[in-house]
Amino acid sequence: MASSEDWTGAYSDAGNNDPHENQGPLLVRTCWALITISIIVVGGRLYAKIYKTRRLYWDDGLMILALIFGIIHAATITEAAHYGLGKHLAYLSDEARSNTMQVGIFTLLWAMISPMFGRMSFLVSLLYLTGTDVRVSRWPIWAFIALQFIINVVAIIVFFTQCGNQLDILWSEDLGDLAKFLTVCKDPIIQTDLGYFQGAFNTLTDAFLTLMPAVLIKHTTLSSRAKVGLYALLCLSVLALVASIVKTYEARVLHKILDYTYDLSMYVIALSVELNVVIITSSVPFLRPLFERKHNASAQLERMQRQWDTSTVGSVFSKKSGARMNLSRVDSEENSILPNGNHQSTESIQMQQPGGAIQVTQEVSVSYETNDVPHVHAALVGLLQGEINNPRLVRK
């Protein structure tokens, strides 16, 4: 490990960089542009859920948390850029350097928490969707939910305890205190290695979130064209996977502490892209009810109903424990209005000769619908089993 004298000398050499180089405006524009899109998409998701189902669910709550932490991340990036994030460390005043490092370090906290809740939200959504098909095991989803929380929380704890109870060394105005980093804090390489591990696991989670919906779609009875549309809608986590790979690659700068305020710029952008892509791709499938069908919805529903009628009693879609059912009362009434204005029931009419009587028939149709959470979510994203059991959620 290098000595404090070597560290101080290397810090002085950093002054050879361009003093006017500033990535701050780019950071601010990128973060707010992305979080604005996320706000619009999540707002549409929540509106669709409330409009169609009159309530929100656990996956929506987790997504709201992801969005809140994403907004906090953008706000703290803006504050850090105001102090000097994006500029070379050597050209900042002691006060600016201290403020930039203090705020900038905590931006990493929000950048870790937000995508964690975003991924957990989509995992819970998948947990709901797989509840409509007993052929799909649910324990891997539970495992990823638990591991997503544990691994990311451990990474956060390790990062913020790297200097024990002296984390303020990282933003001290005294260069002498900064030089203590090498003796008090853990080797910076540990942060890079941990960043690689955390990023690799999050990438694995995104791969799982891409493949699991494909399994559900493969099992459902839909036309090839409809399946392709659902693949495009539910497998968008492949974009989050790419963003996670880029972010993991940029984690290589976590040990470059000599010019932290500048070297972290691309990593911060990668973090912002990742957290917003996770939020957006996890919410887009639930925007589907907001768009009208291009073809006749009633004809589509009749076709699905015929498929339902031909299914067996043991169908994986009809056997669902714990489902709440709504069955309307069925009434049928027939009256005859005779020429003298009197009313007679159908039974009495049958024993008389028809003498110009007017027969009135009233019928009430039967409505059958499942209100359990899995089938509701399946209907919202367009899976056949959900739309059959929830006709009112089918797009008109």
For the chain, which residues make up each domain, given as ranges?
A: 4-290, 301-393
Residues 6 or more apart from 314 whose CB is under 8 A from it? none
Which residue do the tokens 């993991």 mark?
248
pLDDT in tens, the chain (396 residues): 444 444 455 455 555 777 778 888 999 999 999 999 999 999 999 998 998 888 899 999 999 999 999 999 999 999 999 998 888 888 888 888 888 888 988 888 999 999 999 999 999 999 998 887 778 888 999 999 999 999 999 999 988 888 878 777 778 777 666 667 767 777 777 777 888 888 899 999 999 988 888 887 877 776 777 778 778 777 788 888 888 888 888 777 766 667 778 888 888 888 899 999 999 999 998 888 887 665 554 555 455 555 444 333 333 333 344 444 444 344 445 555 555 555 554 444 444 455 555 655 555 544 444 557 877 777 777 766 666 665 555 555
pLDDT at position 89 is: 80
Long-range Cβ contacts of 153-161 (<8 Å, 24+ apart): 153/116, 155/112, 155/194, 155/195, 155/197, 155/198, 156/109, 156/112, 156/113, 158/190, 158/191, 158/194, 159/108, 159/191, 159/194, 160/109
Give the type of residue at 88: H
Task: Report the C-alpha gap between 377 and 216 in whole angstroms.
Answer: 13
Ramachandran angles phi, psi of 45, nearest 5°: -60, -50
Q: Which residues pair with 30 in a beta bridge?
A: none
The CATH number, out of the four listed (1.10.3470, 1.20.1070, 2.30.30, 1.10.10), of the domain defined by the range 4-290: 1.20.1070
Asked if residue 384 lies in contact with residue 304, where contact means CB atoms within 8 angstroms, the answer is yes
Task: Report the C-alpha gap between 276 and 328 in whole angstroms.
Answer: 44
pLDDT at position 392 is: 59
3-state secondary structure of 314: coil
Rounded to a whole number, what is the distance in angstroms from the first to the last CA of the chain? 67
What b/e sequence results for 198-220 when a residue is b if at least 16 CB atoms lie within 10 Å of its CB, and e otherwise?
bbebbbebbebbbebbeebbebb
Task: Tell me the pTM.
Answer: 0.76
